[in-house]
Structure 1
Amino acid sequence: MRLKPVPEPPDTLAGITPYRDAVPLVPGRTDDCCARLCDRTDLDTRQVANDWLAFLDALELVESTPRGFKRTDADLTPEGVRRGLRERVLFAPEALALLGEATREDPVTAADVFAATRDRVPRHDRARDPDWETSWLERAERLLGWLTLVDLAERVTADADGDAGYVAGDAGYVAGDAY
């Protein structure tokens, strides 16, 4: 299963640590875990904390159990984050495929990622959010930020509108890779 939430990426990989460390070692209810995340980090809403929980679960840094969320003992590594993004984050494989075809002269933008995945945005997200296109375009930008954080993408340009352009990073797409 691929998860939808993609929070704002931190500046460094180590920036994930405070969010992960705020999740208890002993399983706790989602509401309790969200409250801990808000109390122990810079998160200001339960929704953003819930998104972080789901995202950390996708990265296998926390896990959902029948009793609630708990921190795992997985090491926080670039390889682990890359694997989680590739395997468990919605539309990451599509973004990686676009990056694999991009060039510095014709880089991928968040608008390109959104255009490639627009028709597959879950119907309930479209119905729930009257401005869903803007929300999913912003999500595409955050996803590219996460891919950049772990060298699956490299930011190369900004166009006249200030939109960033991306190509495959050093740890990114290699011809023949399966996503």
Structure 2
Amino acid sequence: VARTWLTFLRALELAKKTDSGFVRIRRDPDEEALAEALQTRVYGVSTVLNVLPEDEWLESEAVFERFSDEIPTWERYKDPTRVEDVWRERVGNMLEWAVLLGLAERSEDGYRRT
């Protein structure tokens, strides 16, 4: 879990690896910069955003179904019994981060791109 978070924080340019371990980058996070880093440095986010329509709501499961062909082959072999559950969760996380950073919005009907 820690490795996943550190990788994510590095992708958002909020942490970096040094010779003595990982350190937090000391700066106030800028929402626009975080949104850009999320889209360009976190695998799958741009695809998830591209499948989200602006004019209708999609539930997380529908977004996953549209995304599922993008799951890397090596991930399918790593743990074939759990790959879809793992990536459903990841897609859900991507959607929530997109909402947090203003790239998407959420309602009881699902998600849509802003």
TM-score tier after normalising by the smaller chain length:
0.7 to 0.9
The TM-score, its normalising length taken from structure 1, stands at 0.57
Residue equivalent to 2:77: 127
* Superposition deviation, residue 98 in structure 1: 2.2
Provide the residue aligned with 2:5 in structure 1: 52
Give the match for residue 148 of structure 1: 99
Unaligned runs of 5+ in 2: none
* Greater per-residue helix proportion: 2
TM-aligned CA distance change 1:131 to 1:114, over 3 Å? same
Kept in 1, the 8 Å contact 2:51–2:67? The answer is no
Output the CA distance in 2 between the equivalents of 1:157 and 1:71: 35
CA distance in structure 1 between the aligned counterparts of 2:68 and 2:10, rounded to whole angstroms: 24
* Cα distance in 2, alignment partners of residues 120 and 134 from structure 1: 14
Tell me how far apart the structure 1 counterparts of residues 63 and 93 of structure 2 sit (CA, whole Å): 11
Higher RCO structure, 1 or 2 (CA under 8 Å, sep 6+): 2
Residue 60 of structure 1 contacts residue 74 of structure 1 at CA under 8 Å; is this kept in 2? no
State how far apart, in whole Å, the 2-side matches of 1:132 and 1:74 are. Answer: 36
Aligned counterpart for 1:97 among listed residues 50, 67, 89:
50
The alignment-based identity, stated in percent, is 35
TM-score normalized with structure 2 length: 0.85
The residue correspondences of 1:1-179 to structure 2 (distance < 5 A) are 48-65=1-18, 67-99=20-52, 101-103=53-55, 106-129=56-79, 130-158=81-109, 165-169=110-114
Provide the alpha-carbon RMSD of the alignment.
Answer: 1.8
Which consecutive unaligned segments of at least 5 residues does structure 1 have?
1-47, 159-164, 170-179
Give aligned pairs, total.
Answer: 113
Give the Cα–Cα distance (whole angstroms) in 1 for the partners of residues 74 and 19 of structure 2. 25
